[in-house]
A and B are shown apart, each in its own frame.
Chain A
Amino acid sequence: MNRREFIVNGAAMSAITAMGVPLFTSCAHSDSAGKPPLKKNLAAVTGGGGYFESNFGIDEDLVRKVLRAATSLGGDFADIYFQHKVSDHVGFEDGQVNRAYAQVDLGAGIRVLKGEQTGYAFTEELTPPALIKAAQTAASIASAAPVKPVDTFHSVKIPRLYADKAVWIDVPASDKIALAKKIGDKMLSLNPAVIKASTWFGDSDEAVLIANTEGVWVEDIRPMTILYANCAAQKDGRIESNGFSRSARRGMEMYSDALVDEIATQAVERTMLLFDATVPPAGEMPVVLAPATSGILLHEAMGHGFEADFNRKEISIFSTMMNKKIAEDFVTIVDTALEPEARGAVNVDDEGCPGQHTTLVENGKLVSYLHDRISARFYNVKQTGNGRRESFRSIPMPRMRVTTMENGPHSPEEIIRSVKKGLYAVDFANGEVAIGAGDYSFYVKTGYLIEDGKLTAPVKDVNLIGNGPDSLRKITMVGNDKAIDWGTWTCGKDGQSVPVGLGLPTVKVSSITVGGVNS
């Protein structure tokens, strides 16, 4: 189906997700579910045994049989990805926490590779016959003599970036309800202009097991929480709404009193700011990107274009630029799994490759793409740990983790001072890119005009559009104030959503087209 590479920040507004081509509209698998047993104190790394053995009887012997079935028709390689995920959401609206949704998702995906070709099938039933049947289906990509997989599995050394056990299983619903209510009530109390407040709290415990025909056997337990706070305020007959979100691979301890206050306060302040904001003038102008959230520039303008599947197929605008100078010396861009507890952090990717740090652009030179297994073999380089997938139902592919730019030589003050007339972009809702043409855009929820080197009038609701390689060349100043954004960013590619992170120091792009309205 139609490819669309985009990112959405959950808090800012309901993003438009209308696809150019509708997928199957009758698919009604939605949010929701029960509270089954993620056992506590699970070992994150085990050679055989572990979470799936104790809960579902998945042992080495069974996995060996399944992988043998997967390669029975001559695939070069096969892997199996078990996943058990338990998630809960509660919502506050009109003064009450009056809705809850729970979901249990369980299954295993089996992939067989033959060169660049992929065969894939999954089962939601973890019985030996169901697993073997799925393996045989995936095997059909190949047609040759069977390849014998290794007989023994070995554990993989992986970092420990978040709690190595289920952290939400023992948190009673009443604690989650109290949290959602506290933030909602706080928003309503902060300013009499606030007429509606809603919060949306979510948590999940997830266990995955990845094993492959090369003997890799690795488990990872991945916690996650999200919190969106939104409000609507009324002033002089006008209504504005905005929100704020936080997300991390953490447990209930994340929600300190200080964070609760910050979430509510930010949601209200960002909403009140809109009453004074206007839509900026239309046209090309210098844009200064505020630290942290502006990392969306990297995600859209470069990040997707650096994903190696688009490059091995030569359909990315960056596919001829490896080892070339594509930006100023002070531009260094990285994508890392190793930011502890970040939404985009992973101890191990979904192909069993340990979490790591990948430098993409070093002092202005493109030095690496983001690789999964297929592309790493295609380019004859090491995997970078970017093989990720939405769930056991999906084929892994190169995806970003936490994408940031390293500090540069300039101070934020001198960057703003250098602009006579331009835009200072603070907060973003979503973005999208056309991989081949390189055109990307991102939607500024709030910002300020820059006039004679000073921030002046607030602005809102404006889309910026540029061309990736062109904007990279036009990064003329990079600040020394790098920060990671802890918002609820979700990246969509080829119909699969994965949690990601982003960050940036203050950056100046000498010219971007600002959507706006001229009087």
Chain B
Amino acid sequence: MTVKTEISIAQMAQMILDGAKKRGIKDVKVVASQSRNVSTVFRKGIVDKVQESTRRDVSVHLYENGRYSASTSNDFRPEAMDRFLDSAVTLTRAMEKDPYRELTDPSLYKGRKEMDLKLYDKAVAVFSPQQRNDLAKEAEAAAMIAAGDLAISAEASMETQTASAVQLHSNGFEGRESGTQAWLFAEISLKDEGDRRPSGWEVLGSRFAADIINPSAIGRQAVDRALLKLKSKKIETQKCPMIVENRAVSRLLGGLLSATSGRSLQQKRSFLETFEGKQIASPAFSVIDNPFIESGFGSRLFDSEGIAAKEMPIIENGVFKNFFIDTYYGKKLGRRPTTGGSSNLLISPGTKSLSELVADVSNGILVRGFIGGNSNSTTGDFSLGVYGTRIENGQLTDAVSELNISGNHKDIWQKLSQVGSDPWKYSATLAPSLLFDEIQFSGN
């Protein structure tokens, strides 16, 4: 076996680009990426799992007179890479000609911001096994202590990731990205009435190692979350106001966003087709795609097609403004591409805390999480399983579970009356808690 000298992903990307050109393909996009991911899980005071992942792969997108294919491999042996390119070319040439299929228009590369998004922290890259162990161990121990006699089992994990990628296009684009992330997570199961053993979780995540502090608090908060589920009851079928807690909002929002892609629009599977420039939500609701949030989990200077990142309103004061349109569907739709996918989605926060929102509800339900359910992007119909806490006279009372909410996205966002001041930080979707009027809950 030949001894392989380690080459960088930048060199790999260039080699693949050159190899594709040598095979006669003029329009080529290559993405080479690598990541290292290490995690430790603690349970019963000892390491339950320790897992280390180092991966590299390269993708090549080939465009030839409307014919297109994309191929990915992690087999970097030189002979395997040659075969890989040969078959990628063969596959491309077997496709039908599609006049809309072209590499990104180079004019869209222009205007790329030059700024430090603060996505990389060397301290995460050099995080030691001992540091991971100490954090996970302390979080798990704190959870077990806080749960006392109610504790059944707790787990805490500490995970660090370093990732980087190089993207090259044959028509002049070059982009490099690297980032780190560190996540501390704790979950606990508690004894409850009958056979039920509800669990609660808490998470702390950042691109910076120094932000991962006070693991005991994460363990205790996981217990607090689980306590909120004790003695939960199904309640009667009713229409009433609903607050969706910040951490749960992205699941509901996902149903709305599923209709915002260029593909769903062009393929007639978007209930938003007739809503451009029209009111889809109450004026309290604004969603912006903002790629430039410092240290954001979705921050970037260019997208997967090399398009220079920019802020883009999706919904502005309730009015639907923009679809996510990539090069291909942009050509099919006769529109200029925006971007094919979201970066950070920011729901403009309001002024009230979650408890102030609760105080504004005489009788309703605070939804803390969803279980299953789905949404139809063509019609907007949705139906989701929920659990949470009942609100009576502005006070949180009993835990509730085994309920469904149903409706249509064309209606529910119009019923949004207030937006909280508490965006959930541990996601690329920065969503505060939301208060809706009159939602259909089904239960007993």
A and B are partners in one complex rather than unrelated chains: yes
Point out residues on A near B: beta carbons under 8 Å.
1-3, 6, 13-16, 18, 20-22, 24-37, 57, 88, 90, 93-94, 96-107, 116-125, 127, 137-138, 140-141, 172-174, 177, 195-196, 198, 232, 234, 238-241, 279, 282-284, 300, 313-321, 393, 395, 429-443, 460-467, 469, 513-518
Choose from B95, B157, B253 the contact partner of A1 (Cβ within 8 Å): B157
Give B72-128 interface residues, CB cut-off 8 Å to A. Answer: 72-76, 80, 83-88, 90-92, 94-98, 101
The docked-state distance in angstroms from the alpha carbon of A162 to that of B237 is 49
User: Given that A21-B426, A25-B297 are known contacts, is A437 also in contact with B90, CB under 8 Å in the complex?
Assistant: no
The docked-state distance in angstroms from the alpha carbon of A409 to that of B277 is 58
The docked-state distance in angstroms from the alpha carbon of A465 to that of B371 is 8
Q: Do residues B72 and A102 form an inter-chain contact, with CB atoms below 8 A?
A: yes
Q: Do residues B381 and A461 form an inter-chain contact, with CB atoms below 8 A?
A: yes
Query: Which A residues are CB-close (under 8 A) to B196?
Result: 317, 436-438
The docked-state distance in angstroms from the alpha carbon of A137 to that of B197 is 35
- Interface residues of B: mostly helix, strand, loop or mixed? strand
Q: Do residues B153 and A315 form an inter-chain contact, with CB atoms below 8 A?
A: yes
Q: Do residues A2 and B187 form an inter-chain contact, with CB atoms below 8 A?
A: yes
**Count class of interface residues, chain B:** 35 or more
User: Given that A33-B84, A100-B92, A102-B87 are known contacts, is A16 also in contact with B59, CB under 8 Å in the complex?
Assistant: no
Judged by a CB distance under 8 angstroms, whether B363 is at the interface is no
The docked-state distance in angstroms from the alpha carbon of A28 to that of B298 is 12
Q: List 6 A-B contacts (CB under 8 A).
A: A22-B429, A27-B163, A100-B70, A105-B73, A117-B47, A515-B385
Q: How many A-B residue pairs have CB under 8 A?
A: 376
Point out residues on B near A: beta carbons under 8 Å.
1, 4, 31, 33, 35, 37, 43, 46-57, 59, 66-76, 80, 83-88, 90-92, 94-98, 101, 129, 152-153, 157, 159, 161, 163, 165, 177, 179, 181, 183, 185, 187, 189, 192, 195-199, 201, 203, 205, 229, 232, 234, 237, 239, 247-248, 250-251, 253-255, 258, 267-269, 297-298, 304, 332, 369, 371-379, 381-385, 387, 401-407, 426-429, 440-444
Q: Do residues A101 and B69 form an inter-chain contact, with CB atoms below 8 A?
A: yes
Shortest CB-to-CB span from A513 to chain B, Å, is 6
> Which residue of chain B is the closest to A444 with respect to CB atoms?
B383
Choose from A137, A313, A443 the contact partner of B43 (Cβ within 8 Å): A313
Query: Which B residues are CB-close (under 8 A) to A123?
Result: 54
Query: Which A residues are CB-close (under 8 A) to B205?
Result: 21-22
Q: Do residues A125 and B91 form an inter-chain contact, with CB atoms below 8 A?
A: no
Q: Do residues A177 and B268 form an inter-chain contact, with CB atoms below 8 A?
A: no
The docked-state distance in angstroms from the alpha carbon of A283 to that of B304 is 45
Which of A24, A283, A314 is packed against the most chain B CB atoms within 10 Å? A24
The docked-state distance in angstroms from the alpha carbon of A431 to that of B372 is 5
User: Given that A2-B187, A32-B72, A439-B387 are known contacts, is A513 also in contact with B197, CB under 8 Å in the complex?
Assistant: no
Shortest CB-to-CB span from B190 to chain A, Å, is 8
Choose from B48, B73, B203 the contact partner of A33 (Cβ within 8 Å): B73
Q: Do residues A2 and B96 form an inter-chain contact, with CB atoms below 8 A?
A: no
The docked-state distance in angstroms from the alpha carbon of A501 to that of B377 is 26
